[in-house]
């Protein structure tokens, strides 16, 4: 395997990580945006938190394992209940169901996703610098 193929493999693996983390951040953003939403009908279920998963795939052209965003699964934990009898989404007992989204958990997940994204971006930048240095050496 040549150096250029190694560079390409590194870039492709890091790019797959970028795509996966960007998808993860989209899911987390949706969770945060819906953290306080209620059901459209009295007693109905509100937004249910979504949990991203990742899959590892073999890229046969590169002979390398790459990551991708897998299925987006619903979080099956229970909804938060608040007694708000005047709320239009309240059930017959006056309870309103709120999403099972914890903003602190979502912000922690977002920070982790951002750090992973930045790490992959740094790999791409370092690989580009190495390619440039290799070209500079070859020109000399």
The H or E element that residue 56 is part of is: strand 50-59
Instruction: Look up tokens 């997940």; give the residue.
Output: 109
Sequence ranges of the domains in the chain: 3-139
Angstrom distance (rounded) from CA 33 to CA 24: 14
Angle in degrees, CA 16, 18, 19, rounded to 5: 65
Position 2 scores a pLDDT of 55
pLDDT digits (tens, 9 = 90+) for 13-51: 999 999 999 999 999 999 999 999 999 888 889 999 999
CA neighbours closer than 13 Å in the CB half-sphere of residue 13: 16
């Amino acid at each position: 395997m040549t150096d250029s193929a190694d560079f390409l493999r590194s870039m492709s693996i890091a790019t797959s990580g970028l795509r996966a983390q960007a998808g993860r951040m989209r899911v987390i953003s949706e969770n945060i945006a819906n953290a306080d939403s209620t059901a459209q009908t009295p007693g109905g279920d509100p937004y249910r938190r979504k949990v991203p998963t990742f899959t590892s795939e073999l890229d046969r052209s590169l002979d390398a394992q790459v990551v991708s965003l897998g299925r987006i699964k619903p979080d099956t934990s229970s909804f938060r209940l608040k007694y708000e009898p005047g709320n239009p989404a309240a059930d017959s007992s006056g309870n309103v169901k709120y999403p099972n989204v914890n903003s602190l958990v979502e912000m922690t997940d977002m920070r982790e996703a951002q750090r992973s994204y930045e790490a992959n971006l740094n790999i791409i930048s370092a690989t580009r610098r190495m390619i440039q240095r290799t070209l500079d050496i070859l020109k000399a």
